[in-house]
Structure 1
Amino acid sequence: MHTIVAPDGSPAWLVTRHADVQAALGDPRFSLNKVHAKPGGYKGFELPPALDANLLNMDPPDHTRLRRLAGQAFTVRHTAGLRPELERAAEALADELAARERVDLVREFATPFAVGAISELLGVPPESRTDFRVWTNAVLGADATREGIRATVREMYTFFVGLLAAKRAAPGPDLLSALIAARDADDRLSEDELTSLSFLLLFAGYENSANLIAGALHAVVDDGGLREALLEDPAAVPVLVEEVARHMSPALLAIRRFPLEDLELGGVTIPAGDTVFLSIAAANRDPRRYDRPDRVQLDRPDPARHLSFGQGIHYCIGAPLARLEAEIAVRTVLTRFPKARRHAPVSWQPSVRVRGLSSLPVELAG
C-alpha cells in the first residue's frame, strides 16, 4: 500500500499486493461512482454527461441494469459463435501481409483485427470505422494535455451521436440496434446511458483487445522456445493468451475507486472518499502469488487465475471476446508465418494507464 500523487496532482492510494487488489476488486464498499469522492479528489477524465454515464462510473443497481442489457452479446456461448467470422477476418489480414517481407503486426494486424471484431459485434459499418487508436493515444497517452483530451472527447461524442442516429434510421441484427430498441421501445436506459455505453463498449473493446493480441504475438515472434512449443502443441495457445494477459496486463490500473466508509486494506485504514488505484500489473507479478512472475511459461498452474479482467461485478464484460480474438490471432500467425521473427526493436505506448505495443516489426520469413 502506497500513497501517491494522481495525474491531476491530488493525493491517492496505490494498492499493489495481489491479495489486497483481489480483495478490493470484489469489495462492494469500494464505489466506482464519482459522487462518493472527496471534494478535490481525483475523479478521472472530464467527460460530458453523454459519455460519462457508463459502467466504469456506476454501482448497483444502475450498473446491474446496464450490464444486463449489454451482457448477452458477450457471453462465452455467444462469443463462441463468432469464431468462424473472426477466423475469416484474421485470414484475410494474413493474406494482405503474405506478399510482404517485413510488416508491423500492431498496425497491420492486431489493431485492424480488434477494431473489426468489436465493430462487427456493435454494428459499426465499414465506412464509419477509423483508426480509433488515435483517440485512445490522445486521451491515455503520457503526454496528453487537458486541451487535447477535451478536443478528442468532442470528436468522439460527435462520432457516437452520428453513429446512433444512423443505426436508428437503419437498424440491424447487432448490439447497437438492440440497445437503441431498449432505449426507444422499452425505456430501459436514458439517452446519455445509451451513448455512454456505446462509447465504452467500442473504446474498451478494441483498445484492450488490440494490446492483448499484440502482446501475445510479441511473445510468439520473440521467444523461440515458446514458438516451437506452440507449433508442437497448438492446444496450448489459450494458455499463452492467459499468461500474456497476466504478464503484460493491458490495463495497468483498475478504474479508480472510492471507499464508502473508512475501511482497512492490507493493514492500512483508508478514509471514506479517498481515491484508490488498484495496480493490476503489480498484482499479476506479485511473487507471493506467482512463481517466477516475470516469465511467460506454458506450464503455470491455473493460468487463468490472474486479475487482468478484474473480478466480481465489474469483471470485464468483453473478456470472452478478447480471449477468443487473441487465440485466433496467435493461431493464424503461427500457421501462416511459422518462421516470423522480430527484426527491429519494438516500441511501447507512452501511457501510465495501459500497457501496449505501438509497433511490432516482424520479418515474416524469419
Structure 2
Amino acid sequence: MDDASATAPEPVRDGISTTGPERNWPNNSWWVAAHGSEVTDKPILRWILEMPVALYRSEAGVVSALHNRCPHRWAPLHLGHVEGADLVCPYHGFQFAPSGQCVRVPSQATTPPAIRVRAFPAVERYGFVWIWTGEVEKADPNLIPADLAYLSDPAWHTVWGYKSVNGNYMQIKENVLDLTHFAFLHKNSLQVSGWDRAPEVEMGDGRVGYVQVHDMEPLAPVYAVPAGKPIGKLANRTTRGTQLSPGAHHAEVAIHEPAPEDGGLAHFSLRMVHLTTPVSIARSHYYWAMARDHGEPFDVEATRGMADIVFGEDIAMVEATQQMARCAIDHDQAVEFSVSADQAAIQGRRLVQAMVNAERAG
C-alpha cells in the first residue's frame, strides 16, 4: 500500500532553496572541489558554483582545473585524457595547457591563439583541492585558512568523507554554527550532553565563532572510546567552532579530566572540519574531516559509517526544509524567527552576504 504522507505537489519554485532565489555565495573565494586522492591523471567533473570544472593531475602530479566545455564543439573535457601537463579533448583532440590556452589543433598546422578555456587557480593543501572561482588576480593562496594545517600534521590522526546535499550550502554552515540541535536531532546517535543553552559568540577578522564551556559533563562515546575512558565518565569540555571562510568551518572539543586514571589522558582534543561548496542554489558538496591528537588511527570505514548516520540526520533535516520551501505555495509569506542560540549562524550569514553584496556593487 502506498504511503499517502509521501505524496507531495511538484515544486512551485524548482531549484530554489530556503535561502531564496538569488545566489548567496561570493565568487572571490577558495572552495574545496575534491579530496586530493580523487584527482588523478584520469580527469573528473565537478560542478562548482553552477560551473562545470574538469579536474586532473599532470604526469608530474600537479593538479589543474579547467572549464569543462571545449570551445570548439562544446565537448566535456573531463571525458578526455592527459598528455604531460595538458588536457586533450575527447572529440577532436584539441589540446589545452593548464593555463587554458589551446596549444594544438590536430587537424591543422597552426593553432589560433584565441582558442582557450577558463583556467581556475587550483591549490592542493591540507589533503584537499581548492579552486578560486573569482578574479584571478585576487587568488591569493594565503586566503586558504591556515587554521586547518593540523590536517597535514602527522601528530594528528585524520579521516575524511563526502556527502552530496540537496540543500543550500549556507543551510549546512548554519547547522554547524548552532549545536543546540545536538540535544534533539542527535540525541540517540551522538549522546552529547550540555547543549541546553546558547553559547558565547566571538567575532573578528571577517570570522564568526562560538565557545561553550561544559563543566563536568558525561563523556559521550565519540569522546570517551578513543581516549580509553569509560563512557559517561565526568570531564570538562570546551567546544569552539569558527566559520573560517565562506567554504570552511572547523570546531574543536578540548577535554580535561581533572582526575585521570594512572597513565590516562588528562587533556585531549577532537577536531571537526566542514567544507561546503555550492553546486547551485539548491545543491551542495559537503566534505568533512575529523582529527584527534590521541588514541589509535581512525577506523576509516567505521568512522564514515558513523558520519553517515550523524551527518545523515543533519542532511535529512536540511533537505526536508528545502523540499517544503519549494513545494509550499505560501512559503513566500513565511516568517523566519531567530533566537539567542542563532547568533553565530546569523552573523555568519551576514558576513557572507556582505561579501556577495560587495562583489555586486563592484
TM-score by length of 2: 0.22
Higher RCO (CA 8 Å, separation ≥ 6 residues): 1
**Structure holding more helix per residue:** 1
TM-score by length of 1: 0.22
**Structure holding more strand per residue:** 2
- Bigger Rg, structure 1 or 2: 2
